[in-house]
Amino acid sequence: MHPGKLRGAACERYMRVMASNNRMFLVSNLVLALVFVAGCRTQPGALSPNSMARVEMETVREWAAEIAPPQATRYDMRWTFQTQRGAVRGQAALRVEPPDSLRFDYRGPFGRAGAAFIVDNELVWAEPEEDVETLIQAVPLFWAALGLPRDPPVGTEIFGIETAEGRSWRYGVGSDTMEYHVVRAPRVRFLAEMRQIDEVLGRVEVNYDDETSLPTRATLTFPKTASLFVLDVTKIDTTVALNADVWKRP
pLDDT at 250: 84
**Nearest Cα residue to 116 out of 108, 101, 220:** 101
Q: 162-221 pLDDT, tens per residue?
A: 988 899 999 998 889 999 999 988 889 999 999 998 899 999 999 999 888 889 999 999
Q: 86-99 pLDDT, tens per residue?
A: 999 999 999 999 88
- What global pTM score does this model have? 0.78
| CATH class name, domain 42-247 | mainly beta
Below-70 pLDDT ranges, the chain: 1-50
**Per-domain residue ranges for the chain?**
1-41, 42-247
Eight-class DSSP state of 140: H
Helix (H) or strand (E) holding 192: strand 189-196
- Count of CB atoms within 10 A of residue 209's CB? 14
CA distances from 166 to 182, 184, 214 (A): 5, 5, 17
For 19, half-sphere exposure in the C-beta direction (CA atoms, 13 angstrom radius) is 7
